[in-house]
Structure 1
Amino acid sequence: MRQTLQDKLSLLPAKPGVYLMKGEAGEILYVGKAKVLKNRVRSYFTGSHDRKTQILVGNIADFEYIVTDTVAEALVLECNLIKQHMPPYNIMLRDDKTYPYIKITREVHPRLQIVRRVKKDGAKYFGPYPSAFAAQATKRLLDRLYPLRKCQTLKKQVCLYYHINQCLAPCEFPVEQSTYQQMVKEITQFLNGGHEAVVADLRTKMEAAAESLNFERAKELRDLIRHIGQVMEEQKITTPDHVERDVFGFAAEKGLLSVQVFYVRAGKLIARSVNIMPHFGDPAEDFMSYVEQFYHERADVPKEVLLPEGVPCEALATILTAKVNQPKRGQKRDLLNLATQNAVQALDEKLRLMERNMDRTLGAVIELGELLAINTPRRIESFDNSNIQGADPVAAMVVFIDGKPAKAEYRKYKIKSVVGPDDYNSMREVLRRRYSRLLREEKPLPDLIVIDGGRGQLNAAMDVLENELGIDVPVCSLVKDDRHRTSQLLFMDLEAPVHINRHSQGFYLLERIQDEVHRFAITFHRQTHKKTGLVSLLDEIPGVGPQRRKAMLQHFGSIRAMVNADVNEFRSLGIGEKLAEQILERVRQQQNQGRASTISQDQ
């Protein structure tokens, strides 16, 4: 451990607060809260940890902390900092996901709406509905049952909704407030679990319509009753106290945390949600971090929150208006057990799917090793060149580990020693730079090198590896046909292509590798070509020196972005109006010349 970290650890206060773990570049890796900062922060650097926490600790280069008066203050501050910095090692609601609600507006002529936010505006809110489809289906059902206003602003005359009996047309006809109050009351009862009374009333009307031989109306009512049954089908579990509550269960295994939430409204379980995410700390603490963020700055908090036994919920209880309970027996405990069972089931399913996917990718790697008669190539590195008639030549390398792309290990290369469109020598330069560095730094070599190209690229690669660097690594190349599809596999000095089943997992893996390295190389070349084109153009303009050129490159990035710019945008770069006009005139002239050249070629 660095001496600086040891010194800072010895100075930590024995007070509550929030700590921020930082990486080498000063980026925030993790945000946490503590009852006693001195004990909590020190615990990361003492004792043994599981593999996930070891990874986090291994990346910590520094930390800072903020002292608070209470643990509850620390909880709120932690949530704010996590949302602000999005640390990679925190459990968090990254996408700011909110579930839909059904809203009855508080207006002279009320409306039904689907909304994502609960506001303190006097309206009535029902939900949440983790399924947006369920919320929309319920609203459509209520629109058919209760003719509230549909338009955002009143029309000058009646619309279609009036003619299909889904609106009372307050735009033309007066509507008593008592009528609206009765409908709002019935909708409230319906959404709070009183749909049985609505169904009974509709069944009476259906029977009356059938007796009066109005079979068309009876059929409509019958279909409506069935639709209510389908929409309200999920409301199966009922508690007698009719209290609104959220029930949380969780499970953790192999670095994944599964959190299940049951939404109980008016005593009925109306919906549920499940989230599975990686976690790096103690499962109970990470689960509570999720719950705390779940309620951070939310207005729609139920009357009760049920949590499993043993989780540290004291801080949450101090900031929530809801009652935080950890039941040990009875129906509430049964609900908790059910939520936990569902969390376990969801996590087990996720792990099984991951294992199948791993079997599939590892199977492809094993199959490829057997096909080429080499050891299983767990690490594969692939190279491709890209240029336009020799301009701005670049190369790219992608890495696949156990059949999956390891994007953090991708590398880009600008070709330095080759002039003109020379793929063979470009390949030589890139391989020489890549593997001489690995040898110098004594880092492990790949199990297989894949070259994008034909026999010439393969021979060039083998010459550099074997004759110049003395490396004994298997090398193969992938040849594409006229339709730009992988057609042949060449291996080492074998004269004939290696026969491979085009429908095998090994072939699909090679195809993915070739497509990925080509995509990566092309993307890098386009970025480079844009910048070099802009650099050469700016060098022609008097008054634009290295510093201004660098500032404009960072700000605009491409000629197209600069063409569409305004003179005022240059002021922030320290460029006056006169010079800015000269720059814009030159780049727009260049753009027009490029268009004229394209037109003449087309003709």
Structure 2
Amino acid sequence: MRLEDLPPLPETPGVYLWKAGESVIYVGKAKNLKARVTSYFHSEGKSLRVSQEATHLDFIVLRDEVEALLLEANLIKHHRPHYNVLMKDDKHYPFLKLTREEWPMLMVVRRVQNDGARYWGPFPEASAVRRIKRLVDRFFPLRQNSGFPFKKRRYPCLNHSMGRCLAPCVGKADPEQYRVVVQQVENLLDGKVEALYESLEQQMRAAAQHQDFERAAEIRDQITAVRSFFGTSQQAYDPELGDLDFLGFARAGDYALIQHYQMRGGQMLGRISRFVEGVKEASDAELLEAFLRDYYLEATPLPPLVLLPFELEAQDAFSTFLSSKGRKVEVRIPQRGDKTRLIELAQKNAETALHTELKVLERKGDHPGLKGLMEVLGLSRRPYRIEGYDISNLLGESVVGSITVFEGGRPKKAEYRRIKIKGLQGQPDDFFSMEQTILRRFTGSLAEQMPIPDLILIDGGLGQVRAAQKGLKQAGLDIPLVGLAKREETLVLPDGHTIGLPLSHPALQILIYLRDETHRNGLEFHRKLRNQKTLKSIFDDIPGIGPARKMALLNHFSTLEELRDMSVDELARLPGLDKRSAQAVLKALGAGIPSEGSRA
């Protein structure tokens, strides 16, 4: 579709639908329809593709952005357009439903219907629903076993005998008493615990005045149970925070995760998590708005405060939309105090949960970093096997080439290798060392032992990458190469081009992990060589330590610290050593002569 093919658009709020034939491919809302829709033709990425793929545009003019928000949500839910962010979730979180009948009952349901009943939810965890339902069933005598819709019975059930039901099914319930119980349950579920306490205490005092002490004791137990539920239990976070929702957000390249927490009466009821794939081109704001739109379309009743991790353009519209559902709701970003700590908690948990989800994909052999590398580097297939290379040295001494292997995004430590670099004549030369490491890996014995990798990662910049390319050329191989420059974590290609990725991108994360493993592997071996060289030099000057004893010490210890931590007795137990030679070694190391059985 071309810009000149657009219908005349008004500069008013509304909803627009991009269509390809009869299919809706994208639904959006706008404060200014003309400005928003025409911007698609001057954009890049997904927006431009939508306008190019569309054959025509429909739009609906509305009074304000709030109406646009609601209609957009319903249209997306109905059409499920390809280019909209869809919060796919196979879970139907539970609601509590208070039926609208002469004798209402409380039920756990998974769907909200337009039937006039009152609903509370969705609850993040089924355990939270069970706790509340158990509390109501035990201490608030609503009917439980007479069905929905209400059916009469010949005999009352056991709950009536236990004092847990007023038995309207057999005509025993007083309508006014039942109405009071229903109101108390509504207060409980609305979080109006102070009003509930006041109602229960009035009933308790009235029962005591009429000397109905058994009834007064029952009401006292009700009060105790409610206070226990809303008090300092293991689920409570801070009673002073009251009722609120707060959200955490994390993303990594093509993946994102949003977590929603409910707090009622200062008690954490749990959380809902949504893991979303294929969102590389979606903005953070678009993803968070999609979740808010889906979740709050049905959620009820709403808290007076919803806390977000970052600002949204449609934030005020969301506040107005949520407030239109019954009570005033403020949607904002906390600036200080306990509420900022709630967002920090949500953010940290979202990042942890996203990392866990990516690990699950990794275990399935579908590590997101592999797909990302294929796309970023333009590879013909996913790089299942990646080898990392690094050079470690100290002023040209004990130079080591480190080789590490990742398969399926995970370390394969059994195939880690280290190569001693020779021919440097005391002068450090990382480029020569890298070339030699690559050449020996692909032409020597390792070439027969290890398969050819799909991708090679070089720890370093363009110089190291081209040195590695030179080594590959000598070996007669053409394997995709990429370098990782430490300072900016930039990808470096052999032709000199660089690629910058956000630190959260799975492709960059897997390369950083591999680079760090390669560096650790080489540094560990380099330190061992250096320490052994130092030890060897020290042992040469100790009286009574000949070649055999020197070899025994070198085979057993790799650092001076390990040796100094030995007692004379422990050192004397090593093969070929006795107490006199052990004392000579410790004395030469400046550790003194420790007493028998003591530590050096």
TM-score bracket for this pair, using the shorter chain length? 0.3 to 0.5
Q: Larger Cα Rg: Structure 1 or Structure 2?
A: 2
